[in-house]
Every structure is written in C-alpha cells, then in structure tokens.
Amino acid sequence: MIATITTYFDCSEDELWEKIKEPWSLQYVAAPILSFSPEGDETLTGDWEVNKPYPLKLHLFKIIPLGTHTIKLVKIDRESKIIKSQEKGLLAPVWNHDIQFSEIEPGKVRYTDRIEIKASLLTPFIWLFAHFFYRHRQRRWRSLLDNKGRG
C-alpha cells in the first residue's frame, strides 16, 4: 500500500534543504511519537550519505522498543529536490520513503511524503499509522522551519 501526504511550508527550497539533509532533523520531526537511536558506534551527525545503511533502534514514545529500523538513502538529488530511501524494520519489512518538494512561489514550498508499505497482514494498520505519523512529521517540519534552527 502507498501513503501520500502533502503539505505546504512557508520557506524557500534552500531553507528546507538545509534542514532535511541532516540526520538530526529526523529525531526532531519524529518526536515524541517515534525515536531513533543509532546502533553500535554509529552517530547521526553530518549529512545523510547515499547507499550507507543506517541501522537504528526504534522506539514508540521513547519507551516501547520496536526493534531495528534500517534507513538506506538511495537518492539525494538537490537539483530535482528528491530524496528516496529504502527502509525496513521489524513490523514493516518494506518501508520505502520518497520526499519531493518544490517552491511553488517565492517563500512557499509544496512538500510530499510518499511511503510504500509492505507488512503482510499488518499493512493496512501500518498504512493508517503512516498517515497519522507523517502528518505529525509535517507539523514538526513546519515548527522546525519556523524556528529557523535546531528545534
């Protein structure tokens, strides 16, 4: 199943890009619903790297462990404003996430999350969760962009 969620941000493409390219922003936009922490000696610093798997411990509300969730960015294209990841975890063996955005007028960006979910019998429930969670993420993105800083 595919979940597609779109919103609009009052910012420029460059302002959004500066936030979205950094792994720490994942923590901010996912909180407090989901939290990610690197496994082993990994850190979530610097910029995302293409084809590098990021194995992360996933928790619901920082309390309930949901196993390992691995994010691998397969495309980061600043020119076309597309980021594609292939992700997998305990509950969703396939969680492919595409982000696309474009400035539709000066200071106004159209932003879309598209998530392909394959989780066997859990797929419809996880699809519903994805709609709720990505709307939350988009509100958190708006907050992060309005603050013009790190949360």
- Given a contact cutoff of 8 angstroms between Cβ atoms, the answer to whether 136 and 14 are in contact is no
Which structural domain range is residue 96 located in?
Answer: 2-147
At 148 the pLDDT is 55
- For the chain, the domain total comes to 1
Please give the average pLDDT of every successive group of 10 residues along the chain, which has 151 residues. 97 92 90 91 82 94 95 94 96 96 95 97 97 97 78 45
Calpha distance 112→138 (Å, rounded) = 9
At 41 the pLDDT is 73
3-state secondary structure of 77: strand
At 22 the pLDDT is 86
- For 54, counting Cβ atoms within 10 Å of its Cβ (0-12 exposed, 13-18 middle, 19+ buried), the class is buried
Calpha distance 52→64 (Å, rounded) = 26
Output DSSP code: residue 50.
B
Calpha distance 22→110 (Å, rounded) = 20
At 107 the pLDDT is 93
At 6 the pLDDT is 98
Calpha distance 58→38 (Å, rounded) = 9
**CATH value at residue 102:** 3.30.530.20
- Given a contact cutoff of 8 angstroms between Cβ atoms, the answer to whether 89 and 66 are in contact is yes
pTM over 0.75: yes
